[in-house]
Structure 1
């Protein structure tokens, strides 16, 4: 079935199809097929012969592995089934329509021809399935993980002279199943709950019996350089439930069977599956409270910052959609079409271990007061649920619970039209937030026209883009005198660098400006920078330098948060430069110099093309 003009335009603007020569793209005109599926319908099952590569024109698709676990939830512009096509044309997953879907299907022979003949097409799909992001969708390889990423650092200890009653009370209070027994900073034994029950209680020992009488002396240990397989083998061979980690004779950590279980459970597919099945807000909160541990494991596995933040954001998206479904179960089906959108870091798919909520609702036009009233408690329910799940209320009240951000689509058109026409300070601030909108649940078509029309109007208005550029330069990089890093001078975060406001946000602002200048659709910051380079909004050399600088700053921020979580602290964005080596500080400063250079180029209106 030949493509209609809408589908043709849609596909022609989508990478990697936009990189195909006209002749190659014209081949799609005759060979591509349309497929429509109602909500819940099977698209293909594991082991079936595939009809081709699927591209989602509208709707959402759920992909499951051989165990039925959700490994991805795809939406408009995403493609799927290519992995099966590259492995003999047989499906290696199953796919179902999450809601009503319209798909473009590229036959296998055409898919393989495009891969063989066109480097951008081949590079796109080969890279998509060679990244650590794809590997991380499955279970982490526990056998290759370093012990340092598995262990609990600074375990609770006791002296061998402590009474068994005091030891039992300490375990109870700390909610742990063992104590490491230390004398003169040296590990001399280990005491477990089993020792207390099997030796002390079973033998009727006095409460004041010293721990040394029932502990396991000189326990087996491993060093931090060991790997997960060493832990597994030693635990299985000697039937151990607890394994101390010792370095240079000093106790530095402990690995328990619980730690191994937690590590194996730390994969995004498991999170998505658990969230999708959650019946209550409490169930969802139980899922999201595991996210800090997930962040640590993803960083420890060597995943790049944009992979980690994308995976964490995917969980937030599923949680949001589940809350939307729960809201409709509670208040009844929505009386009008709506689309729930996220802005801020969730909108850009850049959530880390510290995230509040920024969201809004776009409703269909011709909605009456009764219909409008339905969405007030609806929005409150979802926002309250997000807050309970750790996505705290937006301090600026940029949420769908605010009537201003819960309006029909025509009002939203008016909002953006006014901001672009009269770019005052508030308009600049609001536009900065709203240009990062991304639909999460509901009818995405309500947003499509708004996004395209607004981008076109904004990019064409030089006065508006000039004001937005000024607003984008309000966040300075932390560069001090004498080639050093400028730290916060007073207050709670004294002697630290704010890696969000002074590090990541300046690049987020630059990426947004490039998107406005070039009428670019991506919302994710890294994708915006790549699109700006491809579209020659900025020079290749300047753009590549900025990409590298952003990667370093964002990765350093994420590494900092992972270290805090491992130490049992709540993650934040305030990095003490003293935590970094001289080498790391030097490269971080170089990254900030690149960012400042690109800010200066934006201010001069030349985008580093000169």
Structure 2
């Protein structure tokens, strides 16, 4: 991305006004105005740049929501935060790949040992912050990966114990939590707390083949999206009949594959594109340029899926419509990406079988 272009965007008054919003209602209005500008830019600027702008907006909204929430806590009689803390994000936000309709995936890291004052303040703060974020357009996470949930809001020592616990279990659920955690990114508050959290996380993967194999086992769970003849499998029933789930059909499999390789080599970046870049520098893997191209295609297709607007907020099923699939170029790009996903998936399945034989 050209730095001048980013500077021009950052100086847009609608963008800058987000930081000065003083209430959730005001913040929502300024998000809506900024969102409209972004929709006008979609498919005009490169998808990488557009995603950067969307996620820069989301980060600024989150930082402003944190400030609003602190002020609300003070007004409610809780005073100022009793210690430093960090607001962190996971999921697509952690990877800087959130869409205009992405929901919440976030948490808190609190400084020092737990005590009653911290617990009282941050339990209330986390719940209030999640409510504020919902009010400004981020739906609450169905999987409850939110700062309002005890599992994702802890002191740093508690977090370190939690990470060690997940790493010590090779079952599906703790490894799933660990995979979610791997996309953590700092957004607001103490960057030092986030850095120490990240250091503790990646230390657990060093020379830990069993853990890497467990992550690989979760990674290769994959819904078939091509039939034996190499034809794209579309939804047969329901509201999305005739359509294709671009999120779980292409985007998530590519995210998972790249994440696995990044964790295997101690790459700390959370962005899929940055992970691909770091992997490319190693000159160890084939197909990385093809993966990058397929990933950008998946991003472009995902943000162009049909959406609905309610009260200024957008929502989408992440399905490419049946009518859109009649476009020969789109179908050709989709099929090419799916063939790559299938090829990579089969290679990872072979790696998993080999790893399990070594460890049996």
Same fold (TM over 0.5): yes
CA deviation map 1:38-90 (0-9, x unaligned): xxxxxxxxxxxxxxxxxxxxxxxxxxxxxxxxxxxxxxxxxxxxxxxxxxxxx
Q: Do residues 420 (structure 1) and 290 (structure 2) align?
A: no
Asked if 2 retains the 8 angstrom alpha-carbon contact of 1:503 and 1:554, the reply is no
SS of residue paired to 1:426:
helix
Asked if 2 retains the 8 angstrom alpha-carbon contact of 1:341 and 1:437, the reply is yes
Equivalents in 1 of 2:187, 2:282: separation in Å?
A: 27
Asked if 2 retains the 8 angstrom alpha-carbon contact of 1:475 and 1:505, the reply is no
Q: Do residues 329 (structure 1) and 71 (structure 2) align?
A: yes
Asked if 2 retains the 8 angstrom alpha-carbon contact of 1:291 and 1:353, the reply is no
Asked if 1 retains the 8 angstrom alpha-carbon contact of 2:169 and 2:175, the reply is no
Pair 1:486–1:515, CA change in 2 (3 A): same
Asked if 1 retains the 8 angstrom alpha-carbon contact of 2:90 and 2:185, the reply is yes
Structure 1 position 465, deviation (Å):
1.0
Asked if 2 retains the 8 angstrom alpha-carbon contact of 1:359 and 1:400, the reply is yes
CA deviation map 1:14-33 (0-9, x unaligned): xxxxxxxxxxxxxxxxxxxx
Equivalents in 2 of 1:268, 1:357: separation in Å?
A: 26
Pair 1:311–1:410, CA change in 2 (3 A): same
Equivalents in 1 of 2:341, 2:14: separation in Å?
A: 35
Tell me the C-alpha RMSD between the 2 structures.
Answer: 2.2
- Max radius of gyration: which structure? 1
1:78-227 correspondence runs (5 A): 128-129=2-3, 134-135=4-5, 137-138=7-8
Give the alignment partner of residue 532 of structure 1, picking from 279, 300, 308.
279
Equivalents in 1 of 2:320, 2:108: separation in Å?
A: 35
Pair 1:436–1:557, CA change in 2 (3 A): same
Asked if 2 retains the 8 angstrom alpha-carbon contact of 1:477 and 1:506, the reply is no
Asked if 1 retains the 8 angstrom alpha-carbon contact of 2:109 and 2:155, the reply is yes
Q: Which residue of 2 aligns with 1:574?
A: 319
CA deviation map 1:435-489 (0-9, x unaligned): 1111111111112122123213224211111111121122335213433210111
TM superposition outliers: structure 1 runs of 4+ over 6 Å: none
Asked if 2 retains the 8 angstrom alpha-carbon contact of 1:345 and 1:351, the reply is yes
Q: Do residues 430 (structure 1) and 177 (structure 2) align?
A: yes
CA deviation map 1:522-548 (0-9, x unaligned): 101111111112124x51x31111111
Equivalents in 2 of 1:502, 1:605: separation in Å?
A: 21
Equivalents in 1 of 2:314, 2:155: separation in Å?
A: 43
Equivalents in 1 of 2:305, 2:207: separation in Å?
A: 40
Structure 1 position 372, deviation (Å):
1.7
Equivalents in 2 of 1:585, 1:478: separation in Å?
A: 13
Equivalents in 1 of 2:86, 2:185: separation in Å?
A: 10
Q: Which residue of 2 aligns with 1:547?
A: 292
Equivalents in 2 of 1:418, 1:307: separation in Å?
A: 38
Q: Do residues 270 (structure 1) and 13 (structure 2) align?
A: yes
Q: Do residues 318 (structure 1) and 60 (structure 2) align?
A: yes
Normalised TM-score (structure 2): 0.89
Asked if 2 retains the 8 angstrom alpha-carbon contact of 1:420 and 1:461, the reply is no
Equivalents in 2 of 1:522, 1:548: separation in Å?
A: 19
Q: Which residue of 2 aligns with 1:349?
A: 96
CA deviation map 1:406-448 (0-9, x unaligned): 1111111111111112121111110111111111111111121
Structure 1 position 571, deviation (Å):
3.4
SS of residue paired to 1:603:
helix
SS of residue paired to 2:55:
helix
Structure 1 position 570, deviation (Å):
4.5
Structure 1 position 561, deviation (Å):
4.6
Equivalents in 1 of 2:232, 2:82: separation in Å?
A: 55
Equivalents in 1 of 2:317, 2:122: separation in Å?
A: 34
Structure 1 position 506, deviation (Å):
0.6
More strand by share: 1
Asked if 1 retains the 8 angstrom alpha-carbon contact of 2:101 and 2:314, the reply is no
Q: Which residue of 2 aligns with 1:471?
A: 218
Give the alignment partner of residue 309 of structure 1, picking from 51, 63, 72.
51
Equivalents in 2 of 1:525, 1:380: separation in Å?
A: 30
SS of residue paired to 1:407:
strand
Equivalents in 2 of 1:309, 1:589: separation in Å?
A: 23
SS of residue paired to 1:440:
strand
SS of residue paired to 1:593:
helix
Equivalents in 2 of 1:455, 1:268: separation in Å?
A: 36
Pair 1:545–1:343, CA change in 2 (3 A): same
1:558-597 correspondence runs (5 A): 558-561=303-306, 570-580=315-325, 581-597=327-343
Question: Unpaired runs of 5+ in structure 1?
Answer: 1-126, 140-266
Asked if 1 retains the 8 angstrom alpha-carbon contact of 2:250 and 2:337, the reply is no
Q: Do residues 453 (structure 1) and 323 (structure 2) align?
A: no
Equivalents in 1 of 2:37, 2:345: separation in Å?
A: 34
Q: Which residue of 1 aligns with 2:355?
A: none
Pair 1:553–1:371, CA change in 2 (3 A): closer
* Higher relative contact order (Cα pairs below 8 Å, separated by 6+ residues): 2
Q: Which residue of 2 aligns with 1:388?
A: 135
Normalised TM-score (structure 1): 0.53
Pair 1:271–1:415, CA change in 2 (3 A): farther
CA deviation map 1:140-172 (0-9, x unaligned): xxxxxxxxxxxxxxxxxxxxxxxxxxxxxxxxx
Asked if 1 retains the 8 angstrom alpha-carbon contact of 2:305 and 2:321, the reply is no
Equivalents in 2 of 1:583, 1:450: separation in Å?
A: 44
Give the alignment partner of residue 286 of structure 1, picking from 29, 54, 57.
29
Question: Unpaired runs of 5+ in structure 2?
Answer: 74-78, 353-360
Q: Which residue of 2 aligns with 1:360?
A: 107
